[in-house]
Amino acid sequence: MLMLLCSVALPCVAAPDATAGARADAGWILQKLARPAPMRTAFVELRGSAMLKEPLRIEGEYRRPDSDTLVREVRVPYAETTTLAKGQATIARAGKSPRSFSLSRVPELAGLQASFGALLSGDRASLEQHYRVTAQGTQQQWTLVLAPRSAQGATAVRDITLHGRGAELRCIETRPLKGELQRTLLAGAANAAGSARTADALAALCRAGSSR
Residue 46 in contact with residue 174, Cβ under 8 Å? no
3-state SS, residue 174: strand
- For 176, residues 6+ apart whose C-beta sits below 8 A from its C-beta are 156, 157, 158, 182
pTM of the full structure: 0.81
pLDDT tens digit string along 148-188?
998 877 888 899 999 999 999 999 999 988 888 889 999 88
pLDDT tens digit string along 109-126?
777 777 778 888 888 998
Confidence (pLDDT) at 5: 35
Across 17-28, average pLDDT: 80
**What is the spatial distance between Cα 72 and Cα 83, in angstroms, rounded to a whole number?**
7
Model confidence band, residue 15 (pLDDT cutoffs 50, 70, 90) = very low
Confidence (pLDDT) at 12: 38
Residue 155 in contact with residue 177, Cβ under 8 Å? yes
Confidence (pLDDT) at 73: 97
Confidence (pLDDT) at 156: 82
pLDDT of residue 2 exceeding 50, the answer is no
Give the domains, in start order, of the chain with CATH numbers: 26-207 (2.50.20.10)
Residue 59 in contact with residue 44, Cβ under 8 Å? yes
Model confidence band, residue 20 (pLDDT cutoffs 50, 70, 90) = low
